[in-house]
Amino acid sequence: MKQAAGEEEDHLAWCAGRIEELGGRLSVLNPLWYGGALAMGMAAGAMGDRWNLAFLAETERQVEEHLAGHLRQLSPADARTRAVVEQMRVEEGGHRSTAVALGAAELPWPLKSVMRLAANIMTTVAYRI
C-alpha cells in the first residue's frame, strides 16, 4: 500500500507536469477532489480491511477502464502523453491485483454503479472547471 501511495503521488506529478507542458491547467476544484477522496478513503478504512480493499480494487478497476478510454482517444502521435497514461494504467492494475491478493471483498453492483456515476460527474466537472 505504501508503494501504491508513492506511485499515486507520481501519477499526480506526471499529470500536472504534462498538463503544464501542454499549456493547460489543473481543475480549480482540485482541493475538493483531494478532500473528497480523503473522506471516502477514511469511510472505507473504517469498514475494515476486506471492504476497504474492495473499495480500492473497484476504484482501480474503474480507473484502468477510464485510462484505457483516454488511450483510445489520444492521438498516436502524442507519445509523451500516451506513455504517462499507459504507465498509470499498468500501475493501477498492479494496485488492483494487490488489493485482491490481500483479500478484497467484491462490492455489490449497486455500489459499483454509484461509484461509476460519481466518477463520471467528477471527470465531467474537472474537465470543464
Instruction: List residues near Fe ion by CB under 5 A.
Output: 8, 11, 60, 92, 95
The nearer residue to Fe ion, 48 or 94, going by C-beta atoms, is 94
The nearer residue to Fe ion, 23 or 98, going by C-beta atoms, is 98
Residue 39 C-beta: closest distance to Fe ion, Å: 18
The nearer residue to Fe ion, 51 or 87, going by C-beta atoms, is 87
The nearer residue to Fe ion, 37 or 39, going by C-beta atoms, is 37
Residue 93 C-beta: closest distance to Fe ion, Å: 9
Residue 68 C-beta: closest distance to Fe ion, Å: 14
Residue 64 C-beta: closest distance to Fe ion, Å: 9
* φ/ψ (deg, to 5) at 27: -60, 135
CA distance 7 to 15: 12
- Alpha-helix residue ranges (DSSP H) falling in the chain: 2-21, 30-45, 49-73, 79-101, 109-128
CA distance 115 to 118: 5
CA distance 90 to 85: 9
Which DSSP helix (H) or strand (E) runs through 129? none
